[in-house]
Amino acid sequence: MRDEIAPLLDVVDLHTVFQTRGGDVHAVNSVSFSVAPGELLGVVGESGSGKSVTMMSLMGLLPSSARVEAQAVNFEGRNIRDMSDDALRVLRGRDVGFVFQDPMTSLNPVFTVGYQLTEALRTHLGKSKKEARARAAEMLSLVGIPDAKARLNDYPHQFSGGMRQRVMIAMALACDPKLLIADEPTTALDVTIQAQILELVKGLRQKMGMGIVWITHDLGVVAGIADRVMVMYGGQIVEQAPVKELFANPQHPYTIALLETLPSLTGERPERLRSIDGQPPILGAKLTSCPFAARCRQVMDRCHRENPTRREVKAGHDVACWWDATQGGAA
């Protein structure tokens, strides 16, 4: 059972509010989740659903205009929220690896890839220059970059998009992290390159056994690699389930609609795509209704009055909705 293993990351009741000139924006609302060691958690949502902000909030990577509150954010049982800045720095550098969407903006264009790779190794693992270089070359060949030793002397612009993303992954994994946070790592890449990276991550996961949080808007990517999926909408988690269960038995009207709007490569070609009418909500105020109510096909009176809390559908599968998909009525 999942509950018997102590989670690697455990988040309880996270709220993030941005203070802007136009007023507060409640980007993350009461988000709770956990990641087990070695597990790959897929986080799915549209832009503005709060998926990236959630992860940034946890690691203290947001600008000072963001107010982050949480009951607890535990990493291996230690509360991150109580940590000093120095301790947090060590945690971010050594125990947690990050891969961001656009490798060109996350790599420094004026330093060689080798320098950027060895920097973390020397700072966080205290390796000598020589050891660090050897390890860096090893990491580059691990992520499938040919002629790794020579390429350490190259600058980021000398790599192609897919290769740069491999460099980012190598960098994130260099210190052997326990948790890897990958924020839309393949979104900027072509499908054939994306397929290469997904294969790579599947292989690395088996070799290194770290927990992974994979943020994406692509349900197809999630279907191929995740163990468990969390669907976010309007700054909250609307549904969470093991991957097979989620796709076979979606409960939230948003998840159901999302799966229906996607055209497929195989099977029937529908005359029209099912579309989700309307726009995602603007999170100006704390929500007092369900964020999806305005676009929901199953909307009821209660949805406009009360924001639903998460209820368990079956073990490991929960949904935040007043409507019961199995019975087709109010839950």
Partner 1 sequence: MRDDVEGKPLVEVRNLKMYFPIYKGILRRQVGQVKAVDDVSFTVHEGETLGLVGESGCGKSTCGRAILRLYDPTDGSVILDGTDIASLNTDDLRQMRTDMQMIFQDPQASLNPKMTVERIISEPLIEHRKGMSAKERSDRVGELMDAVGLNRTFANRYPHEFSGGQRQRIGIARALALSPRFIVCDEPIAALDVSIQAQVVNLLEDLQQKMGLTYLFISHDLSMVRHLATRVAVMYLGQIMELAPSGQLYSDPKHPYTKALLSAVPEPDPREESRRDRIILQGDVPSPANPPTGCNFCTRCPVAQPLCHQVSPDWREIEPGRFVSCHFAE
Residues that bind partner 1 (CB under 8 A): 46-47, 160-163, 190-196, 198-199, 217-224, 243-244, 247-248, 257-259, 261-266, 269-270, 272-277, 279-280, 295
Minimum CB separation of residue 247 from partner 1 in Å reads 5
Of 211 and 250, which has the nearer Cβ to partner 1? 250
Of 206 and 327, which has the nearer Cβ to partner 1? 206
Q: At what angle do helices 129-142 and 161-173 cross, to 10 degrees?
A: 130
Q: At what angle do helices 191-208 and 161-173 cross, to 10 degrees?
A: 20
Contact call for residues 319 and 251 (beta carbons, < 8 A): yes
Residue 233's nearest CA partner among 174, 169, 180, 276 is 276
Of 220 and 329, which has the nearer Cβ to partner 1? 220
Give the contacts of 218 (CB within 8 A, at least 6 positions apart): 44, 186, 187
Residue 169's nearest CA partner among 125, 133, 205, 134 is 205
DSSP assignments along 209-275, one per residue: --EEEEEES-HHHHHHH-SEEEEEETTEEEEEEEHHHHHHS--SHHHHHHHHHS--SSS---SS---
Pairing label, strands 228-233, 236-242: antiparallel
Of 81 and 317, which has the nearer Cβ to partner 1? 317
Minimum CB separation of residue 64 from partner 1 in Å reads 26
Q: What share of the chain is helix, strand, coil (3-state, %, to 5)?
A: 35, 25, 40
Minimum CB separation of residue 70 from partner 1 in Å reads 27
Of 11 and 163, which has the nearer Cβ to partner 1? 163
Of 84 and 275, which has the nearer Cβ to partner 1? 275
Minimum CB separation of residue 67 from partner 1 in Å reads 26
Minimum CB separation of residue 298 from partner 1 in Å reads 16
Minimum CB separation of residue 88 from partner 1 in Å reads 33
Minimum CB separation of residue 98 from partner 1 in Å reads 22
**DSSP 8-state code for residue 107:** S
AA identity, residue 275: S
Of 61 and 200, which has the nearer Cβ to partner 1? 200
